[in-house]
Structures are given as C-alpha cells and as structure tokens.
Structure 1
Amino acid sequence: MSSGISARRAAVPAPHADRSEPSISHFIIVFASLDPFPTLPATSKHLLKRLAVDLATLCSNPEDLEHTFDLLNASYGTEVAQAARNRLKQDPSIEALIAEQYWGDWPSLADLQAMPAGSLGHVYGTFMASQGLNQLPNPQLGDSVPSEDTYLQQRIRHTHDVWHVIAGLPITLAGEAAANGLTTEQLRWPGSALLISADLIHRVSESQASPTKEDDQRIDLGVAVAYGLSLGAKAQPLLAQRWEEGWERPLSEWREALGISELIARSPFPPLTGDRSPLASASIVGSWSLQSLTIRHADSAEAIPVWGEHPLGQLTYTADGRMSAVLCKAGQSTHAAGAGSADVAEQAALFRHSYGYAGRYTLTTEGVIHHVEVAADPSWIGTDQHRITHRADDCLTITTTAIASVVSPDPVSYEAIWRKLP
C-alpha cells in the first residue's frame, strides 16, 4: 500500500511547478500519508491509508468500481460497521431472517422476464438483462467475522440490484448516489456514507468546470443523494423482505407495502426498463409540452427519435375527464402558401410528420386510457388507447405497447416525455 501512496504523492505538483489549486483528493492522499494519528495501531493506520486512497480516487472518478468495492470491503472490518451490523441484528424483522439464514429461489433472468408484466420478477429480470448486469461479487470478510454477520453482508450485497428496482434507481452515477443514500439511511453503513462523500466532493469539483449539454440533462448528485436518503427513511426495512417469495407480486404492491409509493411517484428518475408501475395519486390534469418522442421496433431495444431531437407537441388533460394531443415535426414547410395549396407529396409529408386526437380519458392502475372521439387517423376514432404513465416532478412519461402508427408500416412502441406547462 505504501508504494501506491508514494506513487500518488508523486503526482501532486510542487507549488513552484504548478500554481493551480490542488484538488481535495490530493489533500486526502497527503493527509493519510503524513501519519496523522501516531498512537493508532499499525493495522488501523493501514486501514486508514487504504480508505484514504480509495476515497481520493473516487472523489475524482466515482465510477471507479475497483476502488468502490475495495472501499466497501475495507469498511466492513471497522467498529462502525460492526455497530451497524449489531443494530440490524436487534431488529425483530431482520432477526428472523438471520436465525433462519433465509435464502429463497433465484430464477434465471429468462424465467424472471417471463413473469407477469409489472411484477417484481419481470421488472428485475428486464432491468438486469437490459443493463447487461450480473450478480455483484460476494463481500470479502475476515475469518473472524461470525457466520450471522457473514450472512448479513452477503444478503445485502446479493439483493443490491433488487433494491435498485424497488426504488426505481438506474445504474448511473446519480442512480448509484441515490442507492448509497438509501443504504446509508437503512443500514447506517459506513462504506455507503463514504461513497456519498465522494459523490458530493466530485459534484463540487465538477461544478467548477463549464457545463456540457450532457451535464445539463443529468440528475444532480445532491438531488439524487437527498432522494435516496428520503427513501431510506420512509421505507420499511428492505433487508427484512423475502423478495424470493414475491417475484410475481406486482412491483406497485411491493412499493405500497413498503410505504414508498408516493415518493416513487415524485422520483427524479425516469421509470426503469420494464417498470409499469401506476401513476399513483400524482395528478395529470393540466397542459404539457413535448420534450422527446422515441419509438422501438419489436425486434430491437434501440430507442429511435421520431421527428427529430426536438419535436413539437402539446397534451392537455382537463379536470372533467377530457384530453387532447397534437404532435408534429419541428421546422416543416411547403413551397406553397399553405398546406391546402401544397402538392400531394408535400401534403403527404405533412400528414406523416404530424398527428392529433382528442376524447375522454380514465385513469387505470397502469396509467391512463384515452377514449378517442376525433383523430387525424380515422381508424383511431372510437378506440381505447391504453397508455402507461409515470410522473416525476414536472415530467410525465407516457409509453405504449406496440401500436399502428404513421411513422412505420409495422407496429412500434412509443415513449413520449412531457413537461408541465405553467
């Protein structure tokens, strides 16, 4: 470990060589290298330096998995982690699992995906497959760790991605930051708390750089951490749950039983792939502006933008149960003074790049049904158009199953993201 610290110390510029302000991660490395606690036992000093190197690396790059797992593994042997395990073992709902060493059946991803749409198993299997994820490696524990503590650590690690699905957290920098907040609040885990600190330090450092288009669209790490902490404080103990006995239970029922349905409805994150949770109590009444529109063909998971990166559209739901939607491609024009005097080819292009319909609507457990009374496509009139909805703050995501459309000769599924108008 000392050679690693020396290599990192060598990377710190001398004052006369570089007058730029040193990063916080540099200070962490130097602090650990100067032996700030001379009275600590050698093993404790070694652990402190190991954690410092991991933390410094993660402050610069929170997505470094090697140092993430090393920090977590190093933290498991600390007194703080032992106190957290002792606290968990005193929880009656968790104590029963430990006594039983409970471990249910984990079907293959293919079997999970074949479960009913909207079920925990289906969403978990679809989520894991869509991300190309495998089970996380088992934690590295010392020989002195009791068997019940080993079970706890392995159970926590093995169900990590189930917690992601229950909380609706993607495998992104912000999603993992939220998961660290959830874990810290639920488990009092020192490793998760250190990862939060790295996330937030990275956020501070990043804010000094010029924002990019990607940064503007990314969920703020501070918002993500706060959301995760709120979930952890609100939810029933996730570690106490026997997920394996409820693979086919609707995800929405799991969230309702855990007491987090309302928080999920206000999530800053879009729904996970396969998540068909209901809109819950969030209202859709009002007018919405179209932000993006994509389609997916039946034989592909690729989301393809429709009508450009910035299509136009407005969607309105009234309090008395009526709705209307108008969508079109931005920047369209004709050589004629108007569409009525345009030639047939231009009129056909305008039709293919615009759509509108209206009628009544009713809310369902999955979202909303549009009862179409008038539409640009006469085949829609008199039909019920089922939509899956998810609201997060001022954004409303609406998806469809495969349907006939003006953009493709074959049925395609749509995803439209709308933002609430003032």
Structure 2
Amino acid sequence: MIVGARTPLKRWQQAAVAVGSAVGALLNPRRADLIAALGETTGKPSFERVLERMKRSPEGRAVLLERPRVISTEVGHAWDLPPNTFGAAYANFMGSRNFSPDDRPPVRFMDTDELAYVAMRAREVHDFWHTLFDLPTNLIGESALKVIEFEQMYLPMCMLSVVGGTARFNEKQRKLFFQHYFPWALRAGLQCTDLMCIYYEQHFHEDLEDVRRKWGILPAPVPPT
C-alpha cells in the first residue's frame, strides 16, 4: 500500500494535483482521497522535517525501523483491552462510529519509501489523536484537530482544511469554534510532546489518563451550554 502505489510527478503535475485536490476538497470535504493528495503534494518539506525529528527520537527511530501500521490485523487486540486503557479508548472511538482502521487512502505522491511511510503514519495516527484529545468527528472537531496537526507538523493542508472547514460553519458553529475550540487547540498543540515520535501501539495497555499526562495532552474542554 505504501510502496507500490506511488506515482512520480513533475513539478507542474504536483501543482496541478494540488490545485485540483484543494478545489475538490473544498467542494466536498468528505473526499479523503483528495485531502490526502493535497497533503502529499504540498507537504513534502513538512514530512521531511518530521522524518528528521523521528530519527532524533529513540521512540521515533523505533517506529521508522519497525514501520507499524494502524490496520485491523495489527491493532485488533485493542478491542480486548481493559476499559481504562488507551487501546480500549481507541477501540471504543472507532467502534462507536463504525470506523475501520483500514479505510485510509494509500500514499501516492511521496519521493522515497521513508517519506511515504511518514506520510502514511501521519494519516493513520489521526484517530489516535482524536481519542487522546477527546475530540468529536464533526466539522468543528475535525477543524480543531487540524489546528493541532498544523502545530505538530506544519502541513499546509492542515491550515487549508481549517479555512475550508470554518467557511462551512453557520454563525453559531463559528462562534463556538473561535471562542472555545480554537484557543484550546492552540494551547493543546503547543504544550504536548512531539506526537509523531510516539510508538502508540506499545502504549495501548497503559491507562488513558496516564498516557495523557505523560505526553502533555490537554483534552478538549466541554463546550458551554
């Protein structure tokens, strides 16, 4: 999925794919394939920086060496863990929404195997971050998580997604996002550890609140009523 599907692009082709994906994603934010293509064609420098950070981190190096995948055959044991654990919280997050870890689109436009893996890893740990930050999967929750993702990886796609998402808010959603979720996301993204350098699967058995404290995770506050 990571190696075989890659398509080499010239610069003008990358620009064309980026523009087309951006327009398509704005028109239909549910098109995960377009959002993925936008992230890959605009995010190479960001993924290169993430790769270098992972190489400097002991846990990040272990991830790069072993290349774990967040797919059902590798994370299915999370569904059998005690309810207080991080793994069980992730399983509950996925199961309650009828999500499958196998639904992520493949990487197509990265130059090397290493960068392709980093891009795939960033895509696959997205639901771990939803679980850790206790964010919903509605438009507000996804936009808030994109703020955190931008602060963690500086991917242009993340900021474009925030702009596109907030443009679709109604007046009540916009007020809630900018007064409640946006300031929290700025703090949360800055105070937590480097989230791309965590070998999440090795911490499935640990208590959810313990890993949140260890990684400096600030869960989303309950919105005002």
Classify the TM-score, shorter chain.
0.7 to 0.9
What residue number does 2:157 align with? Answer: 191
- What is the distance in 2 between the residues matched to 1:166 and 1:47? 32
1:112 CA drift (Å): 2.4
Alignment pair present for 1:152 and 2:118: yes
Cα RMSD (Å) of the superposition? 2.7
Alignment pair present for 1:221 and 2:174: no
Query: Structure 1 residues 49 and 188, CA, compared in 2 at 3 Å: closer, same or farther?
Result: closer
What residue number does 2:145 align with? Answer: 179
- What is the distance in 2 between the residues matched to 1:219 and 1:250? 34
Q: Deviations over 1:348-406 (max 9, x none)?
A: xxxxxxxxxxxxxxxxxxxxxxxxxxxxxxxxxxxxxxxxxxxx7x7xxxxxxxxxxxx
Alignment pair present for 1:126 and 2:83: no
1:57 to 18, 27, 47: 27
1:148 CA drift (Å): 0.6
1:148-297 paired onto structure 2 within 5 Å: 148-203=114-169, 206-207=170-171, 220-222=176-178, 223-260=180-217, 263-264=218-219, 267-269=220-222
Q: Deviations over 1:33-72 (max 9, x none)?
A: xxxxxxxx743552353044225415xxxxx311x43033
1:95 CA drift (Å): 5.0
Q: Deviations over 1:48-104 (max 9, x none)?
A: 53044225415xxxxx311x43033133123xx121112112211265145414317
Alignment pair present for 1:106 and 2:74: yes
Tell me which amino acid in the other structure corresponds to 2:208.
L
Tell me the TM-score normalised to structure 1 length.
0.45
Tell me which amino acid in the other structure corresponds to 1:100.
L
Tell me which amino acid in the other structure corresponds to 1:74.
L
Relative contact order (alpha carbons < 8 A, sep ≥ 6): 1 or 2 greater? 2
- What is the distance in 2 between the residues matched to 1:227 and 1:137? 27
1:117 CA drift (Å): 1.9
Alignment pair present for 1:83 and 2:53: no
Give the share of equivalent positions with the same residue, in percent.
20
1:71 to 18, 23, 35: 35
Query: Structure 1 residues 82 and 107, CA, compared in 2 at 3 Å: closer, same or farther?
Result: closer
- What is the distance in 2 between the residues matched to 1:219 and 1:118? 34
What residue number does 1:46 align with? Answer: 16
1:164 CA drift (Å): 0.7
SS of residue paired to 2:100: coil
- What is the distance in 2 between the residues matched to 1:228 and 1:69? 25
Greater fraction helix: 2
User: Structure 2, unaligned stretches of length 5 or more?
Assistant: 1-10
Q: Deviations over 1:296-354 (max 9, x none)?
A: xxxxxxxxxxxxxxxxxxxxxxxxxxxxxxxxxxxxxxxxxxxxxxxxxxxxxxxxxxx
1:179 CA drift (Å): 1.2
SS of residue paired to 1:69: helix
Runs of 4+ in 1 over 6 A off after TM superposition: none
Q: Report which of the two structures shows the higher radius of gyration computed on alpha carbons.
A: 1
1:163 CA drift (Å): 1.0
Query: Structure 1 residues 241 and 99, CA, compared in 2 at 3 Å: closer, same or farther?
Result: closer
What residue number does 1:141 align with? Answer: 108
- What is the distance in 1 between the residues matched to 2:15 and 2:213? 46
What residue number does 1:115 align with? Answer: 81
SS of residue paired to 1:65: coil
- What is the distance in 1 between the residues matched to 2:12 and 2:65? 38
Q: Deviations over 1:79-137 (max 9, x none)?
A: xx1211121122112651454143178342xx423312211011111111111111132
Report if the CA contact (8 A) 2:22-2:34 is conserved. no
Tell me the TM-score normalised to structure 2 length.
0.80
Aligned length: 207
Report if the CA contact (8 A) 1:97-1:240 is conserved. no
